[in-house]
């Protein structure tokens, strides 16, 4: 049985792993999966044809980490997810600083188009974007995806509320990726 949506797009920090407020995860030793995420990803692997990560990583642009360090983190992340019966089909990152004009950071759609180039069967209209920030939700909405907000990014509560008042659509809100998986377990036909 599969979910009617084909592709699951996931933000990384604050969704798959714990965020470090005001800092960057530059070493695998700093990476900690959020509670229940490995189980949730094992469930999603059975119900989505594609699972991709799209993550803004301006720590590279700021010189806080190297591309090699980021790649190492993503390799270890994917390995641990696979060991728990989940999967990640692709990881796309943007190293640009937020201050760079025309950067590739979400809400810009460049990482989504990179994923579609790798997996031409991706249909944004049949995709879900799960993130914890305003830019994640705008990214999903701009591409016509179902949007899922993982609540908890305290520094954006007012911005998100203002954006909703101005027409931003958030289709679902959950406290964690695990809670989203639980919701799907209850709503999918058995």
Confidence class of residue 1 from pLDDT cuts 50, 70 and 90? Answer: very low
- pLDDT in the model for residue 161: 84
Q: Which domains does the chain have, with CATH numbers?
A: 7-187 (3.40.50.1000)
Radius of gyration (C-alpha) of the chain in whole angstroms? 16
- pLDDT in the model for residue 64: 92
84-114 burial code (b ≥16 CB/10 A, e <16): bebbbbbbbbbbbeeeeeebbbbbbbbbbeb
Q: Give the strand order in the sheet containing 50-56.
A: 90-94, 50-56, 7-10, 127-131, 146-150, 172-174
Structure tokens at 91: 């990881």
Q: In whole angstroms, give the CA distance from residue 8 to residue 50.
A: 6
Return the SS3 of 31: coil
pLDDT digits (tens, 9 = 90+) for 19-66: 988 889 999 999 999 999 999 999 999 999 999 999 999 999 999 999
Backbone angles phi, psi at 46, to 5 degrees: -85, -20
Lookup result for tokens 């979910």: 3
Structure tokens at 95: 């190293």
pLDDT digits (tens, 9 = 90+) for 92-130: 999 998 888 889 999 999 999 999 999 999 999 999 999
Cα–Cα distances (Å) from 151 to 37, 70, 160, 163, 170, in that order, read 15, 25, 10, 15, 11
Confidence class of residue 3 from pLDDT cuts 50, 70 and 90? Answer: low
Tell me what the pLDDT averaged over the chain comes to: 92
Nearest to 150, CA basis, from 167, 126, 133 = 133
Question: Taking a C-beta distance cutoff of 8 angstroms, is the pair 159, 107 a contact?
Answer: no
Structure tokens at 25: 């995860």
Catalytic residue set: 11, 13
pLDDT digits (tens, 9 = 90+) for 27-38: 999 999 999 999
């Amino acid at each position: 049985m599969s979910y009617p949506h084909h592709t699951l797009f996931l933000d990384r920090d604050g969704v798959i792993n714990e965020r470090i407020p005001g800092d960057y995860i530059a070493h695998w030793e700093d990476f900690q999966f959020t509670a229940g995420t490995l189980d949730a990803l094992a469930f999603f692997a059975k119900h989505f044809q594609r699972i991709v990560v799209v993550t803004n990583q301006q720590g590279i642009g700021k010189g806080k980490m190297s591309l090699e360090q980021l790649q190492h983190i993503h390799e270890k992340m994917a390995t641990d997810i696979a060991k728990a019966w989940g999967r990640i089909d692709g990881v796309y990152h943007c190293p640009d600083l937020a201050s760079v004009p025309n950067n590739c950071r979400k809400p810009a759609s460049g990482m989504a188009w990179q994923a579609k180039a790798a997996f031409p069967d991706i249909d944004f209209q049949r995709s879900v974007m799960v993130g914890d920030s305003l830019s994640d939700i705008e990214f999903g909405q701009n591409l016509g995806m179902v949007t899922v907000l993982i609540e908890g990014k305290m520094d954006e509560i007012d911005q998100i509320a203002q954006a909703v008042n101005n027409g931003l659509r958030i289709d679902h809100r959950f406290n964690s990726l695990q809670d989203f998986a639980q919701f799907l377990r209850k709503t999918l036909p058995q």
